[in-house]
Amino acid sequence: MSGLSFDLIALQLFTGLALGAIYVLFAIGLSLIFGMLTVVNFAHGAFYMVGAYAGLFLVSMGGNFWICLVGVPLLVGTFGMIVERFLVRPLYGRGIDYPLLLTFGLSYIMIELIRIAFGTSGYPFDTPELLQGAVDIGVGYFPLYRLFVIGATAVVLIGLWLFLERTSFGLVIRAGARDPQIVRVLGVDVSRVWLIVFGIGTAIAGFAGLLAAPLQGVIPEMGATILAEAFVVTVVGGMGSIGGAVLAGLLVGVVVSMSSLFAPEMAKVSIFALMAIVLLIRPQGFFGRAGLMS
């Protein structure tokens, strides 16, 4: 273990937090959609990927990264709402496997369409000029862009929390996730709420894809990997729990980055080992309710 200083470990921890931030964004959308609509959105990775490509597209049209930060969630969220309205909605009330299979198939179609439109090989995505370079964070120099990713995630989380806790629409979402029928009886058009929740969830996925683009480039398959990892996050954090998604997302990010430092050959399996341990000790995850799927 010689050569591994405290500073190096601390820096790797921050790298893990930046990676975890992307997982968090991805997983809260997944959790929000599952918690409210009981839809396991297998196309979430594809929405994430579309977010990165939407960013590429906006930049090629002359936009910059800052425009993308607003434009990409809007585009992907709108697309998500169209998908909910015309593809997912007809399947409500038929059991959890119907929307699961639909979104599973949809993700393949989305990936194939992107391959047709943009080609099968990947693209680099330039880090915005303002965020290039590194800053001293006390334990060493850390890439400024990764710090930005952590900050942007914090902003989205705080915004989402305020929206859910402080607005009446947020109240409807919290209540509707527990008991859609009483919300309907109190005058709320629940199908409209579901539409908007699906839009918000997919918009955040698109935003996460855009944030990830400068870190790892843009390829049509980028959503598949993170989807598998995000399911680990949701299982560890507890299905349908936003707090759980945040905690587990950061934890998974740190586990990935630490294991790639100490035992690079273990990096890929380490999170699944983590999931196995959590499932053995606490099958419902950190904050999940037992028996949600039964």
Partner 1 sequence: MPEPMLRIHNLNGWYGPSHVLQDISLEVHQGEIVCLIGRNGAGKTTTLKTIMGLLDRRSGSVTFKGEEILASPAHVRFARGLAYVPEERRIVQGLSVRENLRLGLVASKAKHEETRRVEEIARIFPRLAERLEQDAVTMSGGEQQMLAIARAMIARPDLVMLDEPSEGIMPVLVDEMFELFRRMKSQGTTILLVEQNVELALAIADRAYVLDQGMVVHEASAQALLADDEIKERYCSV
- CB-nearer residue toward partner 1: 196 or 215: 196
How crowded is residue 11: how many other Cβ atoms within 10 Å of its Cβ?
Answer: 19
d(CA 77, CA 154): 20
User: Which residue lies nearer to partner 1 by CB, 115 or 174?
Assistant: 174
Query: What's the closest the beta carbon of residue 204 comes to partner 1, in angstroms?
Result: 22
Write down the least CB distance from residue 193 to partner 1, Å: 10
Q: Residues 69-91, buried b or exposed e (16+ Cβ, 10 A)?
A: bebbbebbbebbbebbeeebeeb
Binding site for partner 1 (CB under 8 A): 168-169, 171-172, 174-175, 178-179, 181-190
Q: Compute the C-alpha angle 100/101/104, nearest 5°.
A: 85
Residue 182 or 273 with smaller CB distance to partner 1: 182
Minimum Å gap between C-beta 195 and partner 1 is 14
Residue 161's contacts (CB-CB under 8 Å, 6 or more residues apart) are: none
Work out how close the CB of 174 gets to partner 1 at its nearest, in angstroms, rounded to a whole number. Answer: 7
Q: Which is nearer to partner 1, 118 or 169 (CB)?
A: 169
Q: Which residues contact 121 (CB under 8 A, 6 or more apart)?
A: 219
Nearer to partner 1, 178 or 268 (CB): 178
CB of 181 to partner 1, least distance (A): 7
